[in-house]
């Protein structure tokens, strides 16, 4: 794991990053670079799908070619669909078959109208174009277990049965073999249609899991969590851990000022740690033996299989700045790009606990990717995501960091009493051939000359920088004007092991082992 040693709160204090590439923590699951597409705002219509585009940007199926190219560039391994809050009233049956016979329905989550012109078959075709796996979320609001079983049969059935034959009738002979299924979305939330208590949800989730696994034992199920630190999470994990493969948690970071913004993701790191402890707590058996002295004896975990965490909604989002019912189209700054770098460092540092993570969302809605009818542009947050997805794979490496710490206001306020907010946030990974070191310098004003005690006799280091001295924290991108992007250089240490991380920058250093 990454360890931070806090030096004096002096920007001139000597910074040091120490690591040994052979000291690996755990495998990095590629699924942590997943995406999320919901029927919300312009994510689907005008994002993934725009059949009436007359600027040559769509293929014969109406899919945006430029969006597909970006998903391929990011190498997105899995995409969650169709929600999100949207799923609580979604009838999947409305989105299959001839398009002129598909009904339009009121959409209650985001106060819109769902035309159902893009549904299950379109999403599966789109996933095939991208080269990604689908992750479907079941409607546990207005939906029934019968609906859920029917959807699973439609997607994965290979026998002579009704819904499998419906899929064949709609032009899709082979099953889709959807592996990942979520048992509802944010069922604890008071904004949800058919909000549940934790007791009602857990009881229902177990019964659904039992039936779904009877129909297709190969699938992986994800239980519905809150933020990882709630009594809902404790109870649902306790009751459902034997029936599911992952437990989901959601968290959005944000802050009105730069330091409140970049400190917010540390609450997500704490949430991962707490959720992990709750999973272990649920798996531990206690023997209330009368001997000796009615002591509690720990007898080990229940079974070898341990559910992992599915962080299937995460991002930087200020809901007042970008309201959900108005499309949630955030304009991201360089400060947000640094927060993105910290988020991804957190995932690498805690990769042992994570089975999947899906950024919410992937196109237009609080997204690193924005489209118009004439093109698209990549927001500031796109670039750290690209660098991580491209290079931070394989195994995470343990890192020791000495640096100054931030001591001012944080969001949430309690996070500073729980963990250090370092001026240099760090993670490292190796694929067995290359070492990759990701460093966020969150300081508004100071560069940090840092001793790197790993390079040895390296003659050449690839350098990728987002932000830095030539930028302002308020810089943002727009169509035709991408101010913030990746700067690529090469560093030749030539005997020096000190590298200067520029103020308000994200830097990825990469060298051969």
| pLDDT 10s digits, 226-283 | 999 999 999 999 999 999 999 999 999 999 999 999 999 999 999 999 999 999 999 9
- CA separation, residue 238 to residues 178, 187, 215, 396, 467 (Å): 27, 17, 25, 29, 44
HSE of 276, CA atoms in CB hemisphere, 13 A: 12
Gap between the Cα atoms of 373 and 20, Å rounded: 49
Provide the whole-model pTM: 0.94
Q: List phi, psi (to 5°) of 319.
A: -65, -20
Tell me, what's the pLDDT at 4? 58
- CA separation, residue 37 to residues 183, 245, 383, 502 (Å): 17, 22, 19, 35
Tell me, what's the pLDDT at 9? 54
Q: Which residue has the tokens 């690996």?
A: 24
User: Cβ-count burial of 357 within 10 angstroms (0-12 exposed, 13-18 middle, 19+ buried)?
Assistant: buried
Tell me, what's the pLDDT at 297? 45
Q: Is the preceding peptide bond at 298 cis, omega within 30 degrees of 0?
A: no
Tell me, what's the pLDDT at 3? 62
- Tell me which residues of the chain have a pLDDT lower than 70: 1-13, 285-303, 455-457
Q: At 464, list the tokens.
A: 């990728």
Tell me, what's the pLDDT at 76? 98
Where would I find the H helices in 264-349?
A: 265-283, 334-349
Gap between the Cα atoms of 462 and 476, Å rounded: 25
Tell me, what's the pLDDT at 347? 98
Gap between the Cα atoms of 332 and 140, Å rounded: 33
Active site residue 186: yes
Across 317-410, the runs of DSSP E, i.e. the strands, are 354-359, 369-372, 375-378, 394-403
- Catalytic residue selected from 114, 122, 153, 186: 186
| Nearest C-alpha neighbor of 223 from the set 264, 167, 265, 185 | 185
User: Cβ-count burial of 339 within 10 angstroms (0-12 exposed, 13-18 middle, 19+ buried)?
Assistant: buried
- Catalytic residue selected from 153, 239, 313, 330: 313
Q: At 328, list the tokens.
A: 């949630």
DSSP state of 213: H
Tell me, what's the pLDDT at 299? 46
Domain boundaries, the chain: 2-24+397-512, 29-393
> Domain 2-24+397-512 has what CATH class?
mainly beta
CB within 8 Å of 60: residues ≥ 6 apart: none
| CA torsion through residues 46, 52, 56, 61, sign | positive
Sheet holding 354-359, edge to edge: 35-36, 78-81, 133-137, 180-182, 220-223, 246-253, 308-316, 354-359
CB 424 within 8 A of CB 275: no
Q: At 55, list the tokens.
A: 């600027």
Q: Which residues pair with 490 in a beta bridge?
A: 462
SS3 227: coil
CATH 3.20.20.80 fits 29-393, yes or no: yes
Active site residue 313: yes
Gap between the Cα atoms of 238 and 178, Å rounded: 27
Tell me, what's the pLDDT at 298? 45
Tell me, what's the pLDDT at 5? 59
CB 35 within 8 A of CB 132: yes
Tell me, what's the pLDDT at 231? 97
Gap between the Cα atoms of 167 and 97, Å rounded: 9
CB 355 within 8 A of CB 79: no
């Amino acid at each position: 794991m990454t360890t931070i040693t806090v030096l004096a709160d002096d920007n001139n204090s000597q910074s040091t990053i120490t690591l040994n590439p052979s000291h690996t923590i755990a495998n990095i699951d590629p699924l942590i670079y997943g995406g999320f597409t919901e029927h919300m705002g312009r994510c689907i219509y005008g994002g993934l799908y725009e059949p009436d585009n007359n600027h040559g940007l769509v293929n014969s199926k109406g899919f945006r070619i430029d969006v597909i190219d970006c998903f391929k560039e990011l190498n997105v391994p899995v995409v969650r669909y169709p929600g999100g809050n949207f799923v609580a009233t979604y009838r999947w049956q409305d989105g299959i078959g001839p398009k002129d016979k598909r009904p339009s329905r009121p959409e209650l989550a985001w106060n819109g109208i769902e035309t159902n012109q893009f549904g299950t078959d379109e999403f599966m075709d789109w996933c095939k174009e991208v080269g990604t796996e689908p992750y479907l979320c079941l409607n546990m609001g207005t939906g029934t277990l019968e609906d859920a079983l029917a959807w699973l049969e439609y997607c994965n059935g290979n026998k002579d049965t009704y819904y499998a034959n419906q899929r064949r009738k709609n032009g899709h002979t082979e099953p889709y073999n959807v592996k990942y299924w979520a048992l509802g979305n944010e069922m604890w939330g008071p904004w949800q249609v058919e909000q549940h208590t934790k007791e009602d949800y857990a009881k229902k989730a177990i019964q659904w899991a039992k039936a779904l696994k009877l129909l297709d034992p190969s699938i992986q199920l994800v239980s519905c969590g809150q933020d990882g630190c709630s009594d809902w999470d404790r109870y649902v994990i306790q009751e459902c851990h034997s029936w599911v493969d992952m437990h989901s948690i959601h968290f959005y970071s944000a802050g009105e000022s730069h330091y409140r913004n970049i400190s917010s993701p540390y609450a997500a790191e704490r949430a991962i740690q707490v959720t992990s402890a709750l999973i272990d707590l649920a798996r531990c058996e206690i023997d209330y033996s009368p001997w000796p002295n009615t002591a509690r004896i720990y007898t080990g975990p229940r079974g070898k299989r341990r559910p992992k965490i599915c962080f299937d909604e995460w991002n930087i989002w200020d809901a007042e700045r970008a309201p959900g019912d108005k499309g949630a189209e955030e304009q991201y700054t360089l400060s947000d790009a640094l927060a993105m770098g910290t988020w991804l460092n957190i995932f690498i540092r805690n990769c042992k606990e994570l089975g999947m993570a899906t950024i919410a969302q992937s196109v237009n809605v609080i997204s690193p990717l924005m489209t118009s009818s004439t093109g698209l542009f990549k927001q500031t947050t796109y670039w750290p995501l690209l660098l991580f997805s491209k290079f931070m794979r394989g195994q995470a490496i343990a890192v020791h960091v000495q640096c100054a710490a931030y001591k001012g206001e944080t969001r949430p306020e309690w996070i500073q009493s729980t963990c250090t907010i370092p001026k240099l946030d760090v993670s490292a990974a190796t694929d067995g051939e290359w070492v990759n070191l990701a460093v966020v310098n969150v300081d508004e004003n100071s560069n940090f000359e840092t001793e790197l005690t790993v390079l040895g006799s390296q003659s050449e280091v690839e350098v990728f920088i987002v932000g830095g001295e030539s930028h302002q924290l308020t810089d943002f991108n727009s169509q035709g004007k991408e101010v913030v992007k990746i700067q690529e250089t090469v560093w030749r240490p030539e005997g020096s092991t000190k590298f200067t991380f520029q103020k308000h920058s994200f830097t990825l250093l990469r060298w051969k082992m």
